[in-house]
Amino acid sequence: MNRLEELFTRKKSNVLNVFCTAGFPQLNSTWEVMKALQDNGADIIELGMPYSDPLADGPVIQASNTKALQNGMTMQLLFEQLRDFRKEIYVPVILMGNINPVLQFGFENFCKQAASLPVDGIILPDLPEYEFENEYGAIIKRYGLDFIFLITPETSEERIKKLDTLSTGFLYVVSSSSTTGNKKDFTEVEKYLQRLQNMQLKNSLIVGFGIKDKSTFQSACKYANGAVIGTAYIKALENATDIQSATKAFLSSIIN
């Protein structure tokens, strides 16, 4: 049983996945941020791989990508920073980013290095389903990594069921068709989540986009197993002088 399976077997609800950008706020902050998240209640760490043109990210996360790249973050440096992270980090860790830098790095090389650390899964929102099925999925499986697909309110029921069969770890449920960090009408989101719950999918459901505080986290968790918080946490880190205390204050406001 891998870390994500173990987590969702043990914890069926209120799973907190927190997104952070590698190399932000400082180049060498990555491990410190991850440790602070684990210490203060994050169940999953979603580690963003900085890219100059991130897909679907709002201005706050885009700015954190820009800052991380300016700091000098690269894919190879990220793997070097993570080399011994399992000595201290035991929660599931997912690498999230765009397909282009992964292809530039070499897809199999990327999976090999990710698995050797080991991280638990990958989210590449712009990897097409067809290419996953016909080329990349076999490589991901060979290295024992989970691959998490995204679904939206516009995804057809047939396609949701297909992506559920392809996805391992969990399904990433985009709360609405907009960028991260935007305000959401959670009444509509709850109807959408209730519909997904009634489909009895095989994967656990983690909701992302627009989850920013205790209220939105609890709303998302009514009909899903958990939720992702990204933009609000990045904001909490922007001007933090102490990553541990800033993270503790932020996560306490969500889960306590």
Q: Residue 47 contacts by C-beta under 8 Å, 6 or more apart in sequence?
A: 19, 20, 21, 22, 30, 34, 93, 94, 95, 96, 119
Neighbouring-strand partners of residue 93: 45
Question: Other C-beta atoms within 10 Å of 11: how many?
Answer: 14
99 in Cβ contact with 135 (< 8 Å): no
Q: Which of 57, 120, 146, 164 is catalytic?
A: 57
Is 46 one of the catalytic residues?
yes
Tokens (6 digits) for 207: 């909701």
Check if 53 is active-site: no
Q: Among residues 43, 46, 146, 164, which one is catalytic?
A: 46
List active site positions.
46, 57
